[in-house]
Amino acid sequence: MTPRRTWLGIDLGGTWIKWEHVADDGRSLAAGRVATPTGGHVEVTEAIAAVCAARAGEAGRPTGLGIAVPGHLTPERDGITLLPNVSGQWRGYPARAVLAERTGLEAVLLNDARAFAVAELGGAAPVHGVEEVVFVTIGTGIGGALAVRGEVVSSRRDSFGELGHTSVVVDGEECGCGGRGCVEAYAGGAALLARARARGVAVEPGAGALTSLALAARSEPAAAQVLTEAYDAFAVGVSNACALAGAGAVVVGGAVAEELPGYATRLRQRLSRRRRLLGDVEVLSAALGPRAGALGAALAARAGHVRTGEGLVLQP
Ligand SMILES: [Zn+2]
Give exposure, 166-189, as e/b (b: 16+ Cβ within 10 Å): bbbbeebbebbeeeebbbbbbbbb
Residue 225: partners with Cβ closer than 8 Å, 6 or more residues away? 199
Do 186 and 260 lie in one domain? The reply is: yes
Do 282 and 294 lie in one domain? The reply is: no
- Expressed in angstroms and rounded, the spacing between residue 180 Cα and the centre of ligand 1 is 7
Q: Which of 6, 40, 46 is nearest to 23 (CA)?
A: 6
122 belongs to a structural domain: no
DSSP 110: E
pLDDT number for residue 303: 83
- Expressed in angstroms and rounded, the spacing between residue 179 Cα and the centre of ligand 1 is 5
Do 148 and 281 lie in one domain? The reply is: yes
Q: What are the backbone angles phi and psi of residue 182, rounded to the nearest 5°?
A: -65, 155
311 belongs to a structural domain: no
Do 133 and 103 lie in one domain? The reply is: no
66 belongs to a structural domain: yes
**CB-based contact 163:183 (threshold 8 Å):** yes
Give the type of residue at 293.
Answer: G
What does the alpha-carbon distance between residue 168 and residue 235 come to, in Å, rounded to a whole number? 10
Domain limits for position 23 = 6-116+290-303
Q: Which of 232, 94, 93 is nearest to 172 (CA)?
A: 232
First-to-last alpha carbon distance for the chain, in angstroms, is: 18
- Expressed in angstroms and rounded, the spacing between residue 191 Cα and the centre of ligand 1 is 11
- Expressed in angstroms and rounded, the spacing between residue 256 Cα and the centre of ligand 1 is 18
- Expressed in angstroms and rounded, the spacing between residue 185 Cα and the centre of ligand 1 is 6
271 belongs to a structural domain: yes
pLDDT number for residue 128: 65
Of residues 315 and 178, the one with the higher pLDDT is 178
- Expressed in angstroms and rounded, the spacing between residue 181 Cα and the centre of ligand 1 is 7
Domain containing residue 93: CATH number: 3.30.420.40
Do 104 and 137 lie in one domain? The reply is: no
309 belongs to a structural domain: no
Residue 202: partners with Cβ closer than 8 Å, 6 or more residues away? 212, 216
Q: Is the model's pLDDT at 2 over the cut of 70?
A: no
Do 276 and 297 lie in one domain? The reply is: no
- Expressed in angstroms and rounded, the spacing between residue 118 Cα and the centre of ligand 1 is 24
Q: Is the model's pLDDT at 190 over the cut of 60?
A: yes
Do 251 and 276 lie in one domain? The reply is: yes
30 belongs to a structural domain: yes
Q: Which of 42, 43, 62, 38 is nearest to 52 (CA)?
A: 62
Q: Is the model's pLDDT at 316 over the cut of 50?
A: no
**CB-based contact 162:153 (threshold 8 Å):** no
Do 106 and 187 lie in one domain? The reply is: no
pLDDT number for residue 231: 98
Do 282 and 138 lie in one domain? The reply is: yes
pLDDT number for residue 305: 45
Do 36 and 92 lie in one domain? The reply is: yes
- Expressed in angstroms and rounded, the spacing between residue 172 Cα and the centre of ligand 1 is 11
| Domains identified in the chain, total number | 2
- Expressed in angstroms and rounded, the spacing between residue 45 Cα and the centre of ligand 1 is 28
Give the type of residue at 288.
Answer: L
Do 218 and 260 lie in one domain? The reply is: yes
Which is it for strands 282-285 and 249-253: parallel, antiparallel or unpaired? parallel
315 belongs to a structural domain: no
251 belongs to a structural domain: yes
Work out the percent of the chain whose per-residue pLDDT is above 90. 76
- The mean predicted confidence, pLDDT, of the chain is 90
pLDDT number for residue 308: 38
pLDDT digits (tens, 9 = 90+) for 68-110: 999 999 988 899 998 888 999 999 999 999 999 999 999 999 9
Q: Which of 206, 257, 196 is nearest to 227 (CA)?
A: 196
Do 104 and 197 lie in one domain? The reply is: no
Which stretch of DSSP H or E encloses residue 117? helix 112-119
Position 306 confidence tier, pLDDT thresholds 50, 70, 90: very low
- Expressed in angstroms and rounded, the spacing between residue 250 Cα and the centre of ligand 1 is 21
pTM of the model: 0.89
pLDDT digits (tens, 9 = 90+) for 140-178: 899 999 999 888 888 888 888 999 999 999 999 999 889
